[in-house]
Amino acid sequence: MIKVIAPQTTHQPEVTYVLDVILRHFFNLAYSVEWRSEVTTYEFKLSNGNRLIVADDFFRHHTTPLSYLDSRYLPQSIQWATSTLAPEPDIPVLFGEAKITTTSTTITCDIDIIASIYFMLSRWEETVSLDRDHHGRFEAKHSISGRCNCLHRPIVDELVGLVWNMLSSLDPALTRKPSRFEAIITHDVDDIAKWTSPTRFVRSTMGELIRHRNPFKTLRTLWQVARGTAQDPYDTFDYIMTLSEQNGLRSHFFFMVGGTSTHDQRYDILGSAATKLIDTISKRGHQIGYHPSYNTNQTPALFCSEIATLRAISKQPVVSGRQHYLRFSVPDTWRIWSQNGMQWDTTLGFAETLGFRAGTCHPFPVFDCRSRQPLPLVEIPLTMMEATCIDYMKLSPTEMKSAIRVLIKVVQKYQGTMVVLWHNSSFNTAVYEPYQPIYEWLMKELGTMTTQAL
């Protein structure tokens, strides 16, 4: 049993959340907390009498609940600490000082690990920033990780690793919960067919002409589909499921239901094509999830109505998914998800670049930084989206493969979860077809790694 002696603080819910994430969620260690008004640090007392002392550099300056939710209190830079106990050659310091001292019985860490992990996981940074893109999304370039060029670093996982190394060096008898590499393959079903109306045909053809000066492939494919000699370019569901099955993986298909914007209403979820597709996916052992429409991120009634419709036609529980366009509002969207009985979301990733938005490649329990309470919801952060690499970053297939390899290496090192988003519509068009071998390579790679991790 670890006894934590913590400063008596007005931010006890926040501190309790982080302690529980570290000690129970990541390590599965028994612990108790004692709050004392006279202490100014977090002290972890081990059963053998040794101690880990961690700085309280952030919450002690904020004596009123939620007073820290102000852009003035965002970290302006990241320091880097070095220690033989760190899992990396250096360790990021958001709050506190870059100093760790060790004796035979005590380790004193001047990094405010509690506030740093809370900052990354709660995403309170996003509640105080007014900067948004044209879809109302918080952008990587406005995050502290983006500004300090360390989006590629899973800051939370590194800090958790540091905590474990410090605790286990003080008490080698400690054992932590084992973790293993996992892969979750997801597909946002924005469309089930490319040509559902004359208007969409015209837009598609014009798009091919503008982007590639070659609309003839589109016309040829349309003619073949009309004659019944080819499948619609977006009808890749059998291909996706077969590839997953061949590699020991399972695909998660997130379906849209209605919507109120021009970005929605691309197919009728109650139509025979969609209902038959959902039934086929379920029968093959893959998962049905929810892809909430464009305006649901802050509209509880719309979310509730859509999820009810999808659940009514799905023969399996619908408890997971991802927001359309990655539109996410902290903490409102998490709250909406939890209120509708969802179990896990996997929206947290940046559309425009690769990186660890929440500073972790592990699933984690969600905390509502406004209501100051944990929510019955797990976030499984998005690791990579094909559109990020192709449409936003403009990577070539070779460059994309290299970037994915880097991500895999990080997730594997921290025994985390690799979440892949590849739309069913991103295969048989002039833009995406050159990247199809990357998808096939990735499924084989992740299948092999998942099998080895068992």
**Residue range 441-451, pLDDT digits in tens:** 999 999 999 99
Mean pLDDT value across residues 395-411? 98
**Residue 329 dihedral angles phi and psi, to the nearest 5°:** -120, 120
Looking at residue 300, what is its pLDDT?
A: 97
Q: Cα 454 to chain center, whole Å?
A: 23
3-state SS of 129-196 is CCCCCCCCCCCHHHCHHHHCCCCCCCHHHHHHHHHHHHHHHHCCCCCCCCCCCEEEEEEEECCCCCCC
Looking at residue 198, what is its pLDDT?
A: 55
Answer whether 113's CB lies under 8 Å from 81's CB.
no
Dist CA 237 CA 361 (whole Å): 27
**Residue range 103-141, pLDDT digits in tens:** 999 999 999 999 999 999 999 999 999 899 999 999 999
Residue boundaries of the structural domains of the chain: 2-170, 182-194+232-453
Please identify which residue in the block is written with the tokens 């918080």.
138
Task: Give start and end residues of each alpha helix (H) in 171-285.
Answer: 198-212, 216-227, 237-246, 272-283
Please give the CATH number for the structural domain made up of 182-194+232-453. 3.20.20.370
Looking at residue 208, what is its pLDDT?
A: 57
Dist CA 287 CA 138 (whole Å): 29
pTM: predicted TM-score of the whole model, two decimal places: 0.93
Of residues 14, 56, 41, 23, the one with CA closest to residue 167: 23
Dist CA 227 CA 337 (whole Å): 43
Q: What is the mean pLDDT of the chain?
A: 94
Consecutive H or E run containing 121: helix 113-122
Mean pLDDT value across residues 339-346? 98
- Amino acid (one-letter) located at 13: P
Looking at residue 413, what is its pLDDT?
A: 97
